[in-house]
Structure 1
Amino acid sequence: MKIDMSVGLWQIGRVMIAVVALVLVALATAAPSPAVASPERNFAAGLSASERRTFETYMSARRFYNLTLDEFWDEVSEKRAARRKKRAADQAITAKDYAKGFPPDYTGPKLSADLAKRWAKFQEAQAEKKPPREPLPGVDDFLAHAREQFGFVPERIAEREFKRRYAREALRVGLTKEQVVRVYALETSGLGTADMVAGIHPITKKGTPISTAIGYAQLLSANSTSELVKHGPGFIARLKDMAARARTEDARKKYQRKAQILTRMLAVSKSVPNEWSRHQALGRTAKGYGIHAINIDGDIGPWLQVLKLLGLKELADKRGKTRLSGAEIELMNLAGPATGLEMMTPAGRAATTPNFFERGAYGRNTIVRGKTGAELLKALDERMDTNVKNDGAVLFAQVFDEVAAEMARD
């Protein structure tokens, strides 16, 4: 048999798996299978003989469908590892370096509506028996850990003033209104507050946290640690300078105390190796959550989040991409800095999005699924176009214009 090598390896494997699956499905329908794994076996035990055969056939097909998914994602991982080696060797990346297509859809036998409903209800009952997952922390948790671990209470300021400080910092370091406001519009739906946590509606405050992402740029707790390691000494020096120039004793003491607390936070951040995985681990501890609260502070928060965005721009500058749109910055924010830049290359724009995201992230993030790199960039732009019309984004744009005019007069 001649094999078309332009076909993904996972697709070749899928054909082989399908042949085996047909054989095993036939066996499943021929006789009751004692090998159906629990809780499937427990559910099947309560079915009639006819229903059991249908259910076991379905589960066999689903198991082999899952194998085809594994085949696909294995190839994605192998291709990604190969691209890393080529980049390290300064070799060009072409279309052949990407897996083709998307995760396969399930096309096997289905359960009847009634049987599917009963199976779903059974699974829900089984899930209820498991210990509930530890809830993700929210703003109150970050504030509590900041107070307990560092004696830190972030200075809360009005949203308009937070936006003013954010805009001034952004313009000072060379970011544009378009870049910052459009990232804000996508990350927060154009409604975000300084203390907005992912999963919580910024206006109604309803919902539950789905990650530690916080603020206008939605930094994760690990981001806060990483940025503090990079910029903490500069922040501390800046706070000390503000203390020296303070006009009142209360202001002087306030800035001095922030500098002292940030010095302790920096020491904790530097107590682990300067690696993303270690920052992630620290970010899941009480101290990491306490550090994360600096995003809410009226002085430190704007500095931290703006410099995170600036870091993306600076990396792009080094790679020769000197003019970034808001959507391109967001692509780097969403997929990771280096991966986002890769998606902007001709080969990356044509490649499908599974090549750029981990399996779980691809499944969770609806905006990335079923697209090429170019289509994802377009989708980000379109969502930004919608969200910049929302109240928070409109106000942010107005504030940027006001601050730009003030800076021009200075």
Structure 2
Amino acid sequence: MIRRMLIALIRNPSRRASMPRKSSVALLMLFVTASPALAETAPPLPFAVANARAQAASPQAIAEYRYRLQQYQAARAEYDADAEAYWTAIADKRRTRNAKRRAGDRITADDYVLAQPPVYNGPKRPVDPEPTPQPPRERRSIPVVADFLKAAAQHYQFTPQRPAAEIEFKRAYARTAIAMGLTRDQAVRVYAFETGGNGDHDMQSGLSKSRPGSRAISTAIGYNQLLTTNTLVLLAEQGNHILKALNDKAARLSGAPRAALERKIVVVKRMVALARSIPGNWSEHEKLGRTPQGWGVHALVLDIDVGPLLQTHKLLTSVNFARQKGYMQPLTAAELEMMNLTGDSTGLDMVTMPQALREVVPTANFFQRSGYERNPVAIRHNTVAKLLAITDSRMDANSANPGARELAAAF
């Protein structure tokens, strides 16, 4: 699954408050890993081992440690000063670009930092021979599909309508995507990137049927790997469109199927009202998404009527944003994924960049420092051109997998 990363890592505060991006759960498996800075620090020793080592530490070992620690701290201080200056320049250039864009002025190479970020090449932090024993950190529990279903039943008396076979959900998604203006290429390649080309409608980031004992790394689920926050923001923003589509479908039905869909519409209305009851920004919806009420709303992604609407709107929001900003060319799947994952404004910055600039502008220009340092792919493929190329390459490879071929056939 390619989404081990970005959810909160790539999420940029400069994104539109109405639709920030995780986030999207694909520069996640592709992008998220441990920070290099964290890798320099040895993991805490078990309590008993730490005590034993502390008792065995000699004066010479302690003196050697303190000397090496001073060397490390001096080297880190020099690096941190360089890094702080670099990332301040990144932020300043971003503000300049945003101002020029608002004024309709042309963006040039001078509006980007063209140097790559400084890299720490000094000594590693030495291991303390007298470590202070630390209690083990408590792992934060991440809700899984079973929790979403339980919360939906408890708070909304709702059970999502699941497909009898996965192809049914793929066909529903294909019909919705085509009707709303996405292309097969966009939908299938984004699916391939987000899920590895084999994801089911209830696939969750970090969990794999082929890896027993795997753990969820986020709440991202589905073909586009929506987070709980994505679902809530989409309902707040697109609730009217989603309800209209459901009502239009109900009008074409009769008997028991119509009655069932009308009951579902009542539940969706309640969820839309909840999503709109809080301030329209990412952080407030994120707080709601950490509660059982938010989990219950997230179960909509699993519903064969509502899930395809949510996931299509997730991508269509970026397409419409580009058009509103005057970019009328069709977005490639890789370009759409950049907007999907980094936020519309940041992604469009890359999308509208001429190829000559793409070749030289570092990817660091589109990240916060903390997010960049946790993104080995963005570091390794360190220009816009390289980042788009590796995204396309992953899409090419994963589109050959059975799930992606089945989704393509559904179109």
TM-score, length-scaled by structure 2: 0.78
Conserved? CA contact 1:186–1:383, under 8 Å: yes
Q: How far does the alpha carbon of each residue in 1:190-217 deviate from its partner, in whole angstroms, 9 at most, with x for none?
A: 0111111111125546522222221111
Bigger Cα Rg: 1
- 1:223 matched to 2:234: no
* Whole-angstrom CA distance in 2 between matches of 1:45 and 1:84: 58
Q: How far does the alpha carbon of each residue in 1:274-322 deviate from its partner, in whole angstroms, 9 at most, with x for none?
A: 2233333332332222211111101100111012111212222232242
Deviation at 1:242, TM superposition (A): 3.5
1:368 counterpart residue number: 378
Conserved? CA contact 2:363–2:378, under 8 Å: yes
Q: Which aligned pairs between 1:91-240 and structure 2 lie closer than 5 A?
A: 91-110=105-124, 116=126, 118-119=127-128, 126=134, 129=135, 131-157=137-163, 158-201=165-208, 204=211, 206-240=213-247
Q: Which aligned pairs between 1:64-75 and structure 2 lie closer than 5 A?
A: 64-75=78-89
* Whole-angstrom CA distance in 1 between matches of 2:129 and 2:175: 53
Conserved? CA contact 1:333–1:340, under 8 Å: yes
1:323 counterpart residue number: 330
Match of 1:303 among 309, 316, 321: 309
TM-score, length-scaled by structure 1: 0.78
Match of 1:269 among 233, 252, 275: 275
* Whole-angstrom CA distance in 2 between matches of 1:396 and 1:130: 44
- 1:379 matched to 2:390: yes
| Cα 1:48/1:372, change in 2 over 3 Å | same
- 1:289 matched to 2:299: no
Deviation at 1:131, TM superposition (A): 4.0
Deviation at 1:230, TM superposition (A): 2.5
| Cα 1:268/1:236, change in 2 over 3 Å | same
Structure ranking higher on relative contact order (CA contacts 8 Å, 6+ apart): 2
Conserved? CA contact 1:163–1:396, under 8 Å: yes
- In structure 1, runs of 5+ residues without a counterpart are 1-41, 401-410
1:399 counterpart residue number: 410
* Whole-angstrom CA distance in 1 between matches of 2:333 and 2:267: 34
Counterpart secondary structure, 1:329: helix
What amino acid is the match of 1:52? R
Conserved? CA contact 2:65–2:128, under 8 Å: no
Conserved? CA contact 1:192–1:202, under 8 Å: no
What amino acid is the match of 1:66? D
Conserved? CA contact 2:62–2:129, under 8 Å: no
* Whole-angstrom CA distance in 2 between matches of 1:273 and 1:221: 16
Deviation at 1:175, TM superposition (A): 1.4
Deviation at 1:334, TM superposition (A): 1.8
Conserved? CA contact 1:215–1:295, under 8 Å: yes
- In structure 2, runs of 5+ residues without a counterpart are 1-53
| Cα 1:359/1:297, change in 2 over 3 Å | same
* Whole-angstrom CA distance in 1 between matches of 2:122 and 2:287: 40
Counterpart secondary structure, 1:210: coil
* Whole-angstrom CA distance in 1 between matches of 2:399 and 2:110: 38
What amino acid is the match of 1:139? V
- 1:53 matched to 2:74: no
Conserved? CA contact 2:90–2:365, under 8 Å: yes
Match of 1:388 among 396, 399, 403: 399
Conserved? CA contact 1:362–1:368, under 8 Å: yes
Higher helix share: 1
Conserved? CA contact 1:191–1:202, under 8 Å: no
Counterpart secondary structure, 2:117: coil
Deviation at 1:60, TM superposition (A): 2.8
What amino acid is the match of 1:216? Y
2:30 counterpart residue number: none
The more displaced of 227-236 and 198-207 is 198-207
What amino acid is the match of 1:74? T
Deviation at 1:352, TM superposition (A): 0.7
Q: How far does the alpha carbon of each residue in 1:340-381 deviate from its partner, in whole angstroms, 9 at most, with x for none?
A: 111121276231111101222222233222411111111100
Aligned residues: 350
* Whole-angstrom CA distance in 1 between matches of 2:171 and 2:58: 65
What amino acid is the match of 1:308? K
1:312 counterpart residue number: 318
